[in-house]
Amino acid sequence: MAEPRVATIDGKLAEEFAAPSHVEELKEQMAAFAGLHGAAGRKVVLITSGGTKVPLESRTVRFLDNFSSGRRGASSAEYFLDSGYAVIFLHRHRSLYPYTHTYSGINLLDSLQLQTGGGVSHESSQVVVSQQAFPNIAKILSRYQEVKEAGLLLPIEFSTLSDYLHLLKAAAQALSTIGSKAMFYLAAAVSDFYVPSSEMPEHKIQSSNGPLQITMKMVPKILSPLVKDWAPQAFVISFKLETDSSILIEKARGALDTYRHQAVVANVLDTRRGYVVVVTPETQAELILTEDDVRKEVEIEEKIVSNLTEAHSLFITKHHG
């Protein structure tokens, strides 16, 4: 008799993807965070953000990566916090981060000034930040400190595909205690292919051996056990990225049919900052940044989060009356 699908994925995770050493500790942190905020009547969103690194050697010199900057996740986190959610931010190490993401292109040293106050020692001098170089810094810093002091943001880092898969599973189990108050917002760009550890060379692949041919296996679709088994009451949003806009909606609908979750945010690589479609089994909403929005520095994530938080409230009412 065939084994149930979840057992297969759990088995695969254990056998072929090394778990980060501190996964149990992080799971406890996430469970405590969810329990605390759930008890305070707050909704909790788990945001995944950034790309994943797929190693080609055990002592990794080379790896495959992807384009994702993590801006979608970082910016969305801020709007969820503004909407009263507590946020677990499961993000790729060194990808963009809430509240600092707007300053990512700035050269820090070019934006600071040294005021020496007449003395010769550097210890007695002051470093002054130019507000021109960091637009809105006072407002953003004040909001960041407010969020931090209220304990509303729990950042968790991953680096490799293996870290991501194990931490997402841990997060799903940790959030299962708050049922429909949990939202999963899966904006990370996860690799679909990997080299199993059993087939990975230990040492650096030698170029003296000639051209490289690699066969990669398919990464198990983690959305399946997440929706069916690990957090079956949660409100789950996946993302669908394509480069060919003509297949985008069909692919998003295909994902909804396969995984039976609540919505897919569909986007095309080149236009993702100004246009997305939120697809649900019954509806399809196009969200667009107008020229006026761009002038006012409105971000598309504000519209995505507004659409989804409203749908989440309806979902909770429908499930718990």
Binding site for ligand PMT (CB under 6 A): 68-72, 186-187, 189-190, 192, 219, 221-223, 238-241, 267, 272
Measured from the CB atom, the residue of 77 and 190 that comes closer to ligand PMT is 190
Residues in the chain: 321
Min. distance of Cβ 129 from ligand PMT in angstroms?
A: 26
Measured from the CB atom, the residue of 44 and 252 that comes closer to ligand PMT is 252
Instruction: Give residue 182's Cα distance to chain centre.
Output: 15
Measured from the CB atom, the residue of 27 and 240 that comes closer to ligand PMT is 240
Min. distance of Cβ 71 from ligand PMT in angstroms?
A: 4
Measured from the CB atom, the residue of 23 and 241 that comes closer to ligand PMT is 241
Min. distance of Cβ 223 from ligand PMT in angstroms?
A: 3
Min. distance of Cβ 190 from ligand PMT in angstroms?
A: 4
Min. distance of Cβ 182 from ligand PMT in angstroms?
A: 15
Neighbouring-strand partners of residue 127: 114
Min. distance of Cβ 64 from ligand PMT in angstroms?
A: 14
* Among 165, 173, 182, residue whose Cα is nearest residue 229: 173
Min. distance of Cβ 291 from ligand PMT in angstroms?
A: 21
Measured from the CB atom, the residue of 38 and 50 that comes closer to ligand PMT is 50
Q: Residue 193 carries which side chain, given as an amino acid letter? A: F
* Among 17, 19, 71, 32, residue whose Cα is nearest residue 197: 17
Measured from the CB atom, the residue of 13 and 154 that comes closer to ligand PMT is 13
Instruction: Give residue 200's Cα distance to chain centre.
Output: 27
Measured from the CB atom, the residue of 156 and 219 that comes closer to ligand PMT is 219
* Among 36, 100, 108, residue whose Cα is nearest residue 73: 100
Min. distance of Cβ 9 from ligand PMT in angstroms?
A: 10
Min. distance of Cβ 231 from ligand PMT in angstroms?
A: 13
Measured from the CB atom, the residue of 17 and 38 that comes closer to ligand PMT is 17
Measured from the CB atom, the residue of 104 and 313 that comes closer to ligand PMT is 104
